[in-house]
Structure 1
Amino acid sequence: MKALLSVALVSVLFSSVALAHEAGDLFVRGGLAKVTPHESSDDVLNSGELDIGSDTQVGLTLTYMLTNQFGVELLAATPFTHKVSTAGLGEVAEVSHLPPSVMAQYYFGQEHSQVRPYVGAGLNYTVFFEEEGKGALAGTDVNLDNSFGLAAQVGVDLDLSDGWFANASVWYMDIDTDVHTAVGTVDTEIDPITVMASVGYTF
C-alpha cells in the first residue's frame, strides 16, 4: 500500500495529461505479477506444514467501464509454478496453476483525473495442473483439487500519455485445496497475495 500511495503522489506532481476512464471504455493492462502464498496446512508425516514458494509471471487484465466509476475486470496470466516443501522433508512437490478472476471495480476520482485509484471484489477460480512429486514423494501421484473462492484488490492507474497509463495493484485470493498424495490427503489454504506492476492502454 505504501508503494501504491507513493506512485500516486508522484503522478499527481508530474503528470500533465488526464486519464479518460469513462463509460464504454475498454482497456488492457499487461506486466509482471508476483504470487506469494500465505499458506497453512495439515501436518505432513510429522514433518511440518506445507511451504509453498513464490513465483513471478506475465499478468494481463481486461477491463470494461460500465459507467465513469464502475468497471468489470478479467484477470489472466501465464501459468505460475511453485515449489512445495516441508521443514522436515525438504522439497516434496512442484505444481502449476492458473488463477482466472472476475472483479467488480469502483474507481475514485473523476473520469479525466490524472490518478484513478480503485478497489475491486469478485470471484477466483484456480486450476491446478502438472503436479509432480519430488524428494520423498518422487514417483508418486500428487493431485490438487481446483479451487473456487472470493478475491479482492486495490490499485491505481497513473497517466503516461494519450491512451497510455501505468498501473500498480495488489490482489488477495481465497484459495483452498485438498492435496492428494500416496501418503494421504492434506487440507491446505494457500490464500496468496499477488502484486502486479503493468502498463495499460485505453481503446
Structure 2
Amino acid sequence: MLSRSSSLLTVGLLSSAMFMSANAIAHNADDFFVRGGLAYVAPNESSDVVLGDSELEINNVLKIGATLTYMKSDNVGFEVLLGLPFTHEVSLKTSGHVANVSHLPLSVVAQYYFADSDSDIRPYVGGGFNYTTFLDEEGVGALASADVSVDNSFGYAIQAGIDIDLNDKWFANTSIWYLDIDTDVHVNNFPVNVPPIKTTINPLAFLVSVGYTF
C-alpha cells in the first residue's frame, strides 16, 4: 500500500515538473545540500520464537527524517541519513505489546546521479553501510518486570530516489532506503530463562522531503 503511494507521489512530482520553468538543480561538484521531510519506516522483521508464543512483531512508524549530501563531482555524491530516534512497539501474537525500543540508524552511502548536472530531474541510486544504535529499551506487559536490551547492529544500506527542481536552490525529493539490521534481543531478570533472541529487522524507509542547496 505504502509502496504504491510512494510510486504515485513520484509520478505526481514528475508530472508537475513538466510545467516548471527550466531552472537547473545545483547538484554540481563541491555542492552541499540538505533534504528534510517525513520518513515512514516499515520493518520486515523475523526472529526466534519467544517464550513459545511467536516471533517478534514490530510496528511501522512515521517520523521526521533528513539527509546531508556532498557532491564529489557532478554525478557522484556522498550522503548521510539523519533523523530523530524511531520508537517502535514490539509485540507477540498471544501476549500482545511486550516492549518499546528506540533506534537511531546512521547510514552513509555513495551515490550516482543520472542525467546532466543542469537537468531539472535527477534520479539517483546509492549504496553504503548502516550502523544502528538501540536505546531506551523497555519491557511492558508480559515483560514489564524484565530487563530488555538490544545489541547495536552494523550492516549495509541501499537507496534510490529522485530530485525535481523547484528553483535554483530548492528541490522536491522522494526516496526509498533499505537497511540491513540484524541483532540479538536480551531479556534478563525474568522468572523464565530466555536465551538471546536473534532478530532481523531490515526496514524499508520511505522519505518524502524538500531539499535546499548551499
Q: TM-score, normalised by structure 1?
A: 0.96
Aligned equivalent of 2:11: 6
Task: Report if the CA contact (8 A) 2:101-2:135 is conserved.
Answer: yes
Structure 1: gaps of 5 or more residues: none
Aligned equivalent of 1:165: 171
For 1:173 and 1:124, how far apart are their aligned partners in 2?
7
Task: Report if the CA contact (8 A) 2:182-2:202 is conserved.
Answer: yes
- Out of 100, 107, 113, which is 1:101 matched to? 107
Aligned equivalent of 1:179: 185
Q: Deviations along 1:50-75, whole A, 9 cap, x unmatched?
A: 00011111111110000100000011
Q: Which moved more, 1:140-149 or 1:179-188?
A: 179-188
- Out of 153, 161, 174, which is 1:155 matched to? 161
Name the SS for the 2:129 alignment partner. Answer: strand
RMSD across aligned positions (CA): 1.2
Deviation at 1:186, TM superposition (A): 0.6
Deviation at 1:5, TM superposition (A): 4.3
For 1:23 and 1:83, how far apart are their aligned partners in 2?
42
Letter in 1 for 2:40: K
Runs of 4+ in 1 over 3 A off after TM superposition: none
Aligned equivalent of 1:193: 204
Q: Does 1:118 align with 2:124?
A: yes
For 1:30 and 1:2, how far apart are their aligned partners in 2?
19
For 2:74 and 2:9, how far apart are their aligned partners in 1?
22
Deviation at 1:184, TM superposition (A): 2.5
After TM superposition, list the pairs within 5 Å mapping 1:28-177 onto structure 2.
Answer: 28-177=34-183
Q: Deviations along 1:73-109, whole A, 9 cap, x unmatched?
A: 0111011000000111101100001001001000000
Task: Report if the CA contact (8 A) 1:4-1:155 is conserved.
Answer: no
Letter in 1 for 2:19: F
Name the SS for the 2:147 alignment partner. Answer: coil
Q: Does 1:27 align with 2:12?
A: no
Structure 2: gaps of 5 or more residues: 1-5, 189-193
- Out of 17, 24, 29, which is 1:18 matched to? 24
Alignment: residue pair count? 203
Task: Report if the CA contact (8 A) 1:11-1:158 is conserved.
Answer: no
Deviation at 1:15, TM superposition (A): 2.2
For 1:115 and 1:159, how far apart are their aligned partners in 2?
6
Deviation at 1:4, TM superposition (A): 5.7
For 1:130 and 1:165, how far apart are their aligned partners in 2?
35
State the percentage of identical aligned residues.
56
Q: TM-score, normalised by structure 2?
A: 0.92
Deviation at 1:12, TM superposition (A): 4.0
For 1:122 and 1:54, how far apart are their aligned partners in 2?
24
